[in-house]
Structure 1
């Protein structure tokens, strides 16, 4: 692993990566993982990538988990980039099919990495507010890692998502209100409950899992990036993650 430190995305304050961290201790803004890219490049090459497993952990050198630690993995990543000539006349359009991830969405990427490092750093109870896919992904990867998952969901969340989380072993709490009310409930209870907050952009490592989307797109297009990427932003971790991947590749 070549993770050097965590750094505040707003004020630049440095934080230790070797203990559980949520937001910046000074300004309460999101933290980014800073990788020693020069050191990582000594073993991460295009030629070596061609020989590796088709999962996001093929980019292990730029991911935040020691090399001797087994990740909480269900085979996430390595999703196909499919040509879609009938969808756009005269445009070379490709679609990245993230539904083929283990929990059927790109949320699997972030949770695989974030759950892996959270467990390594000592977390035993993980909590997330969710109206669907993030909760299912946390439930799956927490089960894989052998830690507790606590998913707080709006009461009107589709039943299929609630059942998914419960069947995967998560403790599900239904909250009257919106997902923001679920997040507020986690903030209120986490200290007493011993929960580590896995909310969007409230911990540094879901972005790290999502950045593998950027690495994969580049690799699948033979390291020639497209002119435009259309991305359904949601909470923004995937969009930020891809930007971070492209920034790292340019370094």
Structure 2
């Protein structure tokens, strides 16, 4: 339900930004591929959600091919988002963005949904890495504290080496650049004209994306899912 509410607000926002008014009920029903009854129920759910139809800035994480909960926890039929999923989505995004065309709404929305899925996954990954380190540290402290008490008489101290902060910085650095690229696409797609500080076109975006280095982030994800990260 969360995804369909996001799409409803998205199409309402685009209509308002582009034409100064919300799309008609029939236009929204067609875009969302819903029956009239389902659409009426959706409007009630959307109202109860309390979400802002027109936030001040474009929000990339509202675009996703997979529900946020499913990315993190999976479903009865599918495992949580994995390294192989990341490879699939990043490969698909690579192919799509090379044909970026702001005049094609459907293709542009598809690109944003692939990008948003990757963003949501990486933000979950940061959270999980921090959580994993905390668990690791708690387990280590049970033995390290006793060891330090014994060795303190010899002037010896032990320190728990951690990687999570460094990894978080690396992932955040990639995310900041990645989001910057796709925020530009989203600003054009949703017609947030007031947020455009300098002109750019499809080729500018493609060039920025090509310069983006996926190798390090891919290596971090592989190490995490292979249980090779030591805290």
Q: TM-score range by the shorter chain?
A: under 0.3
Larger radius of gyration: 2
Q: TM-score, normalised by structure 1?
A: 0.26
- Whichever structure has more strand as a proportion of its residues is 1
- TM (normalized to structure 2)? 0.28
Which structure is higher in helix share? Answer: 2
Higher RCO (CA < 8 A, seq sep 6+): 2
